[in-house]
Amino acid sequence: MIFQPLTLESQPIFRALERDFPLATSDANFTNVLIWNDYYHIVWTEAFGCLCLLAHPEGGEGAQPPFAFPPLGGGDKVKASEFLFSQMDKPLMARAPEAMTQFLAERRPTWKIVPDSDNDDYVYLAESLITLSGRRMHQKKNHYNYFVNNYQPEYVDVTEAIIPELMALEDLWLTAKTDKLGFHTHLSVERRATRTLLTNLTVLGLSGLAIRLNGQVEAFTIGERLNPDTAVIHAEKGNPEIRGIYVALCSEYCRRRFSELTYINREQDLGLPGLRFSKESLKPHHMAKKYLITP
């Protein structure tokens, strides 16, 4: 059971597992682990019929400690978890979905389990994001109406041909965020993740939508199907000075790509106040809860 670095060439093994054992949360989706791997430095192996991943986040002040992802697949998850713990100086499993946590707790009642709430996924009804109907979405509907009544948006599919435009918008977005919030390590890491996402758009099988105003890309989003009834949104960037552009982008993308699905997973807020406010404002249907586990 030799660990190997996570690379793009690992994709077939991960995707086959995603098809056979659909994921409940966003963290171990292959696109996610690949685009954030420049920060997490993930290695993986197969043990006890499961895919086992270890993450070694970049060091520095406030850095996350090394951790194991919960075992993936249909094998013996208890033995696979024990194997992962045995590979760590300070055993820690993070991002464990609720069902997995309950399964392990019943079989290893002495293991310590605490909420990992900063990493809970926000899950929305696709219909709600598409229609923006009801009192709960009234404010978002007002922003949407302002946008479509005051601009003439051109919606275009994200293809490799427009990736340079998206990267240029990403640079502007990062500059605006840095000017407003000051330098934050997360912003730098997010920029690297977005670059990896855009560079590998086609080979990862992703879809996306962009908005052009007066010929210039002002917003874009990228996602994919996570499991049979849920899509996951990996990136969403836009000009924050344009009222309503984010909600219009979200609504139109879900309508065009995911209208047949029940849920849209917009991932976690990482404990960042601004991101939390943004995700809460779209009124999630529920949170996909996650936990930290130590033996």
pLDDT in 10s for each residue of the chain, 295 residues: 799 999 999 999 999 999 999 999 999 999 999 999 999 999 999 999 999 999 999 875 557 899 999 999 999 999 999 999 999 999 999 999 999 999 999 999 999 999 999 999 999 999 999 999 999 999 999 999 999 999 999 999 999 999 999 999 998 888 877 766 665 667 888 999 999 999 999 999 999 999 999 999 999 999 999 999 999 999 999 998 999 999 999 999 999 999 999 999 999 999 989 899 999 999 999 999 999 999 9
d(CA 156, CA 213): 11
Please indicate, yes or no, whether the overall pTM of this predicted structure exceeds 0.85: yes
- What pLDDT shows up at residue 182? 61
d(CA 270, CA 32): 14
What pLDDT, in 10s, does the model give residues 174-221? 887 776 666 566 788 899 999 999 999 999 999 999 999 999 999 999
Kindly provide the residue ranges of all beta strands, DSSP E only, lying in 2-120, ordered along the sequence.
4-5, 43-47, 50-55, 67-68, 93-97, 112-115
- What pLDDT shows up at residue 183? 56
- What pLDDT shows up at residue 186? 76
d(CA 170, CA 197): 12
- What pLDDT shows up at residue 181? 61
Q: Domains in the chain and their CATH numbers?
A: 4-119 (3.40.630.30), 121-267 (3.40.630.30)
d(CA 290, CA 123): 13
The CA-CA-CA angle for residues 183, 275, 182, to 5°, reads: 15
Which H or E run contains 263? Answer: strand 263-265
d(CA 224, CA 245): 21
d(CA 38, CA 42): 9
d(CA 267, CA 234): 8
